[in-house]
Structure 1
């Protein structure tokens, strides 16, 4: 028997194929964003079909997708996977739920995800979920990569309109996107993969933070950590798992730790697609 785990995020989709013994048979990664809040259904079908073409027949799939935070989106994604893979043994989680189920050992726990977007989600000992944030790039995701880059771009336009002083990050911004002037940044909104493209600047901005970047990071992390504390207090726990690409930035992680100095933080570096494959094996392995 073979089992597939899929991790779909704002910048890429990764898949792991394992056998019934848990051995890795194949790893797949496609560099394109698949967050359900910003990708249309037909494009999503093409991407998932590409994953299907790179795998053999499978006996079970567990999917972890950012943006799959509502029952409607889960059903939409489940229907697409059933159509393309032609099996019924499929479970769909959002990116926070999937990690919680992988880490759950019978006690309450919580995780914060800071990647393209942001989300804080927890689970009590009875597996009841609590969450804060992660409501999509238009309404929330404060402290995530897309939000940080967007805030920098907003301030660049404020500088262009003579509403604020210059910051060196504006020159780096123009160079990064090969723009001659700030006005040309408006074209980013029309890109098909705009969420991935815009959020990609955050990694560069965090390498040598300017005064403006520091202000924006403090603003975002202040909001994000307040949400974390509310979730942890509601669960009566002190430990928080960290996941997502932003925690790979030494600067971002340090700032986050400063805001959460009274709590125990645990970076989680496991491969999500592999963990989803192992969950699929657990759920669907038959004698």
Structure 2
């Protein structure tokens, strides 16, 4: 297990443990419901940067300690400041980390329990995949303290329908894990006792694929989302042609026709 950015008490803000090609990143501010302090954001950035360069990691699982996944920004820390420049930097920093998750070559799975609110819900929406326990709840609740969740609205509105997103943003109300699954915010909700098993099953399935093709495909997927249909088809055609040039494709086809498991190369 790797610890990053220890607190004054010596406790790590982000825990990392690697097992069988899966990097488990765990937010570790349980007494604060894993609120995203400046220090925790820095620790998460450091961890993601390290994983991006780690060829041994095929999938990332993002989780939280204690009773919650993540309660969003640290409001007490924010309340201690009053400079506009500080808040500009804070929200931009958070947005950069959410974008880093999207640009990471490895798929990121959110393992959600308890609550995921405001920037915590933003974190779930920014992950490539998400599985939650049935008792988990989600909200973009900044409006309840007078702060419209502008930056969380970006990934939220790219996951769920516009009117559903606006209702969450304007009311600050919670939705259940079942509702989150129905709206596309998460992939599925499972009983709490099955959460780790379901996350591991999904992670292992992805680990069994070509990491080079997964990385290429993930980058292509997010880029084409911002394009018009015709441009997206042109871009995807070029990406698939690049994909076809990978040694893993030749190996995959030969394995399929030869009725044997493929032997992928490292990313």
Higher helix share: 2
Answer whether TM exceeds 0.5 for this pair: no
Q: Which has the higher contact order (CA 8 A, sep 6+)?
A: 1
TM-score normalized by structure 2? 0.29
